[in-house]
Structures are given as structure tokens and as C-alpha cells.
Amino acid sequence: YHNVLLYFTGARLAPKEKLDIPVLFMPDTMKMYEAVVVIHVMRENGENWPYEDSDELNKDLKSSVTVAENGGIQGILWIYPVHGIPEAPQQKLVPAVVRCRARQRVERRVEVLLTGVVPGATAMPAARSSAEVNTNKPANLQEEVQVTDGFSTTVEFLYELQYQSNEINSQLAALVGMHLIQRERDTESGIVTLIFNIVFAPNKPMRNEATLIVQCTTGGVWKFPMLFIATEPEVDDVINIEAVGLNRESIISFKLTSQTR
């Protein structure tokens, strides 16, 4: 973490005027950076703000003001913390497609490659990331996250599926499940592989795009496109109605059972 103090000197502000402060962030490694923007305001005429018992200022107030020798308040401080979280370069990756017939259930293993992950105190440049779907899922999925040799157990990952709108998110929240089942790191290239188990159980035909967002607790965000496709369901039954003659109605009855209240 790096603490950076940015000062603007000589900026004159009228009452209720706004001050825009540009902050430029150009990370070279996939780790989070921290900066502090400090605004120090003083009166234009050089006078102090009167304040009684300035020697007994509480601890929180002392960090927000600068006190003059005569006991008045010389300046007021506004402190704004800034967290810089680098994001892997956006690339035209082929979406990982999860396909299933409506009213059925499918499980897929999705592998994503994270480059530039910082193991411990070592930093590596950010590079390309990719994702793929492994349709040959073994029968026995491992429920525990495995850590291979050489991977720091202090490096954790947060992940979520982000959809194009809140409405789609509410619709697919109960239809899509995701669980991180394994992670490993190549000691030579430094590339981290995360393996997710994706469960898709659509209730109707649909086609929705999504973004798998992975964030490392040490800093860094990776995004991978995904596509969920639900095709037409299987036919429940075939109803045959025999004609009894021209211009005469043929009637057949059948029962429908509601699955919910």
C-alpha cells in the first residue's frame, strides 16, 4: 500500500463553489493501491477561525484541523481515501457457453485463467486472461477447494455473476448456481487456474449474457464473458383428436396439474 498526499496550492474557492481534483491511476501490477487525497482550506485573509479550548481538542478533531500558535484554527482538512483496484485488460474472449433444455438441469465445469496474480509480496505484470467450459465433468466433483504446492493460502478470491440488468439478475438468481471447487497455480508462469462448477436449471427457453467477475483479495479484477442458453423443452405429450365427420366438433379431455399454489 502506498499513501500519497496531493496538494493544490493557491486555489481560490468562492462560497458553494466546486473543486474538481483529477486522480490518475496507472497500475503496472495486479495489486490494490491506496492513496489519500487531502484538502487543506484556509481563509483568504489569513485570519484564523476562533475556537475555545483549542488545547483540549478531541483526537478526531485534531486530525481534521491545523491549530495556530494563538490557539485559533488555521486550516480545515478534508481527507478522502482512494483505493485503486487494477482490472485485467478487456479482450475479445469467446464466451463460455452453458446450454440446457428448459425444465432440465445441467452441470458444467468452467475454468478461468488469471494472470498477474500477486502471490504474497511478489508482483507480476497484468496480462491476458481466458475462460473455457469443460463439458466432460467427472462423476465425483470435489467439494473442497484444493491448493497445489507453491500456492499461498493467504490469497483468496471473490467471485460473482453479473447480468445485464437487475431484472435478469432476479430471474436467474434461482436458476444458476456457481461454486469454486478447485484452484491451482503454475509455479513457472504464475498463472492461476480457477475451476468453477456451474449449475443451470432453466424453467423456460432463454438466452442471457453474463459476466463472471473474479476479484483477488490482494487486489485485481478479472472479467470473463458467459452465455446461458435454454432451448425448447421436451414435449410433454401428444394429443390425438379423431374427426367424427365434416363440420362436426371432436372433443377430447385431459387433466393439467398445477405444480404450485
CB atoms inside a 10 Å sphere around CB 65: 18
What the block records as the C-alpha cell of 47 is: 485570519
Facing residues of 208 across strands? 228
Q: Is the dihedral of CA 24, 29, 32, 36 positive or negative?
A: negative
- Domain 88-119+154-234 coded CATH 3.40.50.720: no
Q: For position 135, what pLDDT does the model report?
A: 46
Q: For position 52, what pLDDT does the model report?
A: 64
Give 20: exposed, middle or buried? Use CB within 10 Å, 0-12, 13-18, 19+. exposed
Residues 63, 32 contacting (CB under 8 angstroms)? no
DSSP 116-148: SB--TT--------EEEEE----SS---SPEE-
The pTM for the full model equals 0.68
Domain boundaries, the chain: 1-86, 88-119+154-234
Q: What is the pLDDT along the chain (261 residues), one digit of tens a residue?
A: 444 555 556 788 888 888 888 888 998 888 889 988 888 888 888 888 877 655 555 555 666 887 777 777 888 888 889 999 999 887 788 899 999 999 999 999 999 999 888 654 344 444 444 456 554 443 333 333 343 333 344 578 899 999 999 999 988 989 999 999 998 888 888 889 999 999 999 999 999 999 999 998 888 899 999 999 999 999 988 999 999 989 999 999 988 888 788
